[in-house]
């Protein structure tokens, strides 16, 4: 009998403020232990929290990006539990009145196996609330002892909670990747998973079709998309095997061991009432006015969903009708008419799309496809080879656009352009100077090309006769011979045109 998989995610996104959420201590990563733990972080008696305005604005920004309700009034609460790296004995978080309410995120799912085609899905977001991070327990630093580093205590987090809308590891990974891309795109988080800036807790349960939701187990602190997929696959199979053998699933918090590929129970899972939430008496309710919300909206960049629409749009009026005016305010509105495949690749990373826009501004929107081909082809291949990202690309969009203009105006051929590109990549420089220095300029003089063609046809009279008798495949022979005679510099379009006219007599 089949089983249904039910998955929901809680994602802890570290906000990109320079200081902590309730104090002025630095949030810089990598400092010596406890050097960034101020009086508020270590909970000295009598200290009071002061809310970081930048953290609130980043939360609002996220809510607007996912079309969520922004609460005009939200409340901070104390979440009570004991842990060695939580000096206060409670965490300041939000409970029943979070700053961000219900929203949604559209994801593109790439099935992890089989021949299934990619598909689109909407995942509902339940809420996103502000909270402070705890410190860090450092195991093994001293023999038989655990150290406590409170540098991270008080770092601002936005916990983004989804509905249990995902039904496979592929969907969960696609959601996490899309969310990761979005928070980096809008500039609220650096997304560095190795440093713990983006951590995922995955709630997994299974059930028979038509039955109520099963008992969930929460896989904590996953900071790798690969490990997320492995952890979910293992946990799903473990739950199914347990139920089919007559066992019961106990609600629990579990950890994934990437060395063994297995999940292991850490502790029984707490419910909300276990934390004894109550409003923090040291913090006033947070009021967010419409004016403040609109000020934050004005700082939003063009969002991935809008950019994809613009890249694919064929007609300006159709694009403007579909545009999410309520989300994005002002940005480049030039449409390109690209395929959905190209658009998906180009909006997967903000810097790549920015590069296309800058390149297309040089060559014109009608030549955006040429830009896209080079960015997704030669540029991406070289970046992958040299293990670079788009921000580190040694060829600027303006340089690439200048080179592509020389293809468009017939100054160089595609093969000549590749040589220019390789030189620009390794040595730098502008296209025109490289073309001149390397003698790559195409021969576009019709008289000169006609003379080359006449010489080739005169030297191959028998093949001319064969071609005229119906052997059309010989056309490639004549093109190759003429290009060789011109040292590869003859304008291909002109050469083909002249050859066709000459060969047909």
- pLDDT band at 269, cuts 50/70/90? low
Same domain? 200 vs 102: yes
Same domain? 211 vs 176: yes
Q: Structurally, how many domains does the chain consist of?
A: 3
Q: Is the pLDDT confidence value at 49 over 60?
A: yes
Q: Distance between CA 346 and CA 375 in Å, rounded? A: 9
Q: Which residues partner with 120 through β-bridges?
A: 108
pTM: 0.85
Q: Is the pLDDT confidence value at 490 over 80?
A: no
Last residue of a domain, one of 410, 438, 466: 438
**Res 324: pLDDT:** 61
- Tokens linked to 351: 């810097």
Same domain? 385 vs 461: no
Q: What is the length of the chain?
A: 505
Q: Is residue 288 part of a domain?
A: no
Question: Which of these, 71, 74, 78, 24, lies nearest to 50 by C-alpha position?
Answer: 24
- What φ, ψ does residue 449 adopt, rounded to 5°? -65, -40
Q: Is residue 353 part of a domain?
A: yes
Q: Distance between CA 293 and CA 27 in Å, rounded? A: 25
Tell me, what CATH number does 483's domain have?
1.10.10.410
Instruction: Write the CA distances from 493 to 8, 226, 352, 403, 444, integer angstroms.
Output: 56, 48, 31, 19, 9
Q: Distance between CA 344 and CA 305 in Å, rounded? A: 10
Q: Is the pLDDT confidence value at 487 over 60?
A: yes
Q: Is residue 409 part of a domain?
A: yes
**Res 103: pLDDT:** 96
- pLDDT band at 270, cuts 50/70/90? low
Same domain? 460 vs 313: no
Q: Distance between CA 478 and CA 486 in Å, rounded? A: 12
Lowest model confidence (mean pLDDT) among 18-27, 235-244, 362-371, 455-464: 455-464
Same domain? 160 vs 118: yes
CB 8 within 8 A of CB 176: no
Q: Is residue 293 part of a domain?
A: no
Q: Is residue 401 part of a domain?
A: yes
Cβ–Cβ contacts within 10 Å for residue 241, how many? 10
Q: Is residue 212 part of a domain?
A: yes
Q: What is the pLDDT of residues 242-263, one digit of tens each?
A: 999 999 999 999 999 999 999 9
Q: Is the pLDDT confidence value at 434 over 70?
A: yes
**Res 410: pLDDT:** 85
CB 188 within 8 A of CB 153: no
**Res 145: pLDDT:** 83
Same domain? 244 vs 326: no
**Res 141: pLDDT:** 67
**Res 1: pLDDT:** 61
HEC states along 238-272?
HHHHHHHCCCCCCCEEEEEECCCCEEEEEEECCCH
Cβ–Cβ contacts within 10 Å for residue 205, how many? 20
Q: Is the pLDDT confidence value at 423 over 70?
A: yes
**Res 489: pLDDT:** 73
- Tokens linked to 357: 């826009």
- pLDDT band at 69, cuts 50/70/90? very high
Q: Is the pLDDT confidence value at 473 over 90?
A: no
- Tokens linked to 494: 């002109």
* CA 432 to chain centroid: 35
Domain extent at residue 118: 4-279
**Res 144: pLDDT:** 77
Element (H, E) at 4: strand 4-14
Q: What is the pLDDT of residues 84-104, one digit of tens each?
A: 889 999 999 999 999 999 999
Q: Is residue 485 part of a domain?
A: yes
Q: What is the pLDDT of residues 314-360, one digit of tens each?
A: 987 777 777 765 555 455 678 999 999 999 999 989 999 999 999 99
Last residue of a domain, one of 279, 314, 333: 279
Q: Is residue 291 part of a domain?
A: no
Last residue of a domain, one of 245, 279, 313: 279
Residue 44: CA atoms inside 13 Å, Cβ hemisphere, count?
6
More confident residue, 478 or 82: 82
Q: Is 109 helix (H, G, I), strand (E, B) or coil?
A: strand
DSSP string, 378-438: IIHHHHHHTT--GGG-SS-HHHHHHHHHHHHTTSS-HHHHHHHHHHHHHH---HHHHHHHH
Same domain? 253 vs 400: no
Q: What is the pLDDT of residues 387-397, one digit of tens each?
A: 999 999 999 99
**Res 245: pLDDT:** 94
Q: Is the pLDDT confidence value at 181 over 60?
A: yes
Q: Distance between CA 74 and CA 440 in Å, rounded? A: 65
Q: Is the pLDDT confidence value at 219 over 60?
A: yes
Work out the end-to-end distance of the chain between its first and last CA atoms, rounded to an integer number of angstroms.
74
- pLDDT band at 65, cuts 50/70/90? very high
Same domain? 127 vs 34: yes
Question: Which of these, 96, 24, 107, 11, lies nearest to 62 by C-alpha position?
Answer: 11
Q: What is the pLDDT of residues 112-132, one digit of tens each?
A: 766 778 899 999 999 999 999
Same domain? 409 vs 486: no
More confident residue, 439 or 352: 352
For the chain, percent of residues with pLDDT exceeding 70: 95
**Res 441: pLDDT:** 85
Residue 108 makes CB contacts below 8 A (sequence gap 6+) with 118, 119, 120, 174, 178, 344
Q: Distance between CA 291 and CA 284 in Å, rounded? A: 20
More confident residue, 309 or 128: 128
Cβ–Cβ contacts within 10 Å for residue 278, how many? 12
DSSP state of 113: S
Same domain? 456 vs 429: no
Radius of gyration of the chain (CA): 30
459: exposed, middle or buried (C-beta count within 10 Å: 0-12, 13-18, 19+)? exposed
CB 242 within 8 A of CB 204: no
Q: Is the pLDDT confidence value at 214 over 90?
A: yes
**Res 296: pLDDT:** 96
Kindly report the average pLDDT of the chain as a whole number: 90
Q: Is 185 helix (H, G, I), strand (E, B) or coil?
A: helix
- pLDDT band at 469, cuts 50/70/90? confident
Same domain? 154 vs 174: yes
- pLDDT band at 500, cuts 50/70/90? confident
Same domain? 201 vs 309: no
């Amino acid at each position: 009998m089949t089983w249904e998989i039910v998955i929901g995610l809680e994602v802890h996104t570290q906000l990109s403020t320079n200081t902590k959420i309730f104090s002025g201590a630095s949030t810089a990563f990598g400092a010596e232990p406890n050097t960034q733990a101020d009086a508020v972080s270590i909970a000295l008696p009598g200290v009071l929290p002061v809310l970081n305005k930048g953290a609130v604005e980043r939360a609002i920004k996220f809510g607007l990006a996912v079309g969520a309700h922004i609460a005009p009034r939200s409340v901070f609460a104390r979440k009570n539990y004991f842990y060695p790296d939580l000096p206060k004995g409670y965490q300041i978080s939000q409970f029943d009145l979070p700053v961000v309410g219900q929203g949604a995120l559209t994801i593109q799912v790439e099935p992890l196996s089989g021949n299934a085609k990619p598909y689109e899905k909407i995942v509902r977001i339940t809420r996103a609330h502000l909270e402070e991070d705890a410190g860090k327990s450092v195991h093994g630093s001293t023999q038989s002892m655990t150290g406590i580093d409170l540098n991270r205590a008080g770092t601002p987090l936005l916990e983004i909670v989804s509905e249990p809308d995902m039904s496979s590891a592929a969907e969960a990974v696609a959601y996490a990747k899309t969310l990761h891309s979005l928070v980096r795109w809008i500039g609220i988080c650096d997304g560095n998973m190795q440093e713990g800036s983006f951590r995922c807790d995955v709630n997994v349960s299974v059930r028979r079709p038509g039955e109520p939701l099963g008992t969930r187990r929460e896989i904590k602190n996953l900071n790798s998309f690969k490990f997320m997929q492995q952890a979910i696959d293992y946990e799903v199979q473990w739950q199914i095997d347990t139920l089919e053998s007559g066992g019961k699933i106990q609600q629990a918090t579990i950890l994934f061991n990437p060395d063994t590929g297995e999940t292991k129970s850490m502790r029984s899972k707490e419910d909300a009432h276990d934390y004894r939430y109550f409003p923090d008496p040291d913090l006033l309710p947070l009021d967010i006015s419409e004016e403040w919300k609109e000020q934050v909206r004005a700082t939003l960049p063009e969002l991935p969903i809008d950019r994809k629409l613009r890249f694919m749009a064929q007609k300006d009026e159709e694009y403007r009708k579909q545009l999410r005016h309520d989300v994005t305010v002002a940005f480049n509105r030039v449409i390109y008419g690209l395929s959905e495949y190209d658009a998906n690749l180009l909006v997967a990373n903000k810097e790549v799309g920015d590069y296309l826009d800058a390149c297309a501004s040089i060559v014109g929107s009608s030549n955006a496809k040429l830009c896209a081909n080079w960015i997704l082809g030669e540029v991406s291949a070289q970046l992958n080879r040299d293990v670079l990202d788009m921000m580190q690309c040694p060829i600027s969009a303006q340089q690439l656009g200048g080179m592509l203009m020389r293809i468009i105006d017939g100054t160089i051929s595609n093969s000549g352009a590749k040589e220019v590109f390789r030189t620009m990549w390794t040595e730098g420089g502008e296209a025109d100077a490289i073309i001149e220095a390397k003698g790559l300029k195409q021969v576009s003089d019709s008289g000169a090309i006609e003379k080359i063609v006449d010489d080739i046809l005169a030297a191959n009279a028998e093949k001319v006769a064969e071609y005229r008798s119906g052997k059309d495949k010989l056309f490639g022979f004549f093109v190759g011979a003429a290009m060789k005679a011109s040292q590869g510099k003859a304008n291909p379009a002109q050469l083909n045109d002249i050859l066709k006219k000459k060969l047909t007599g």
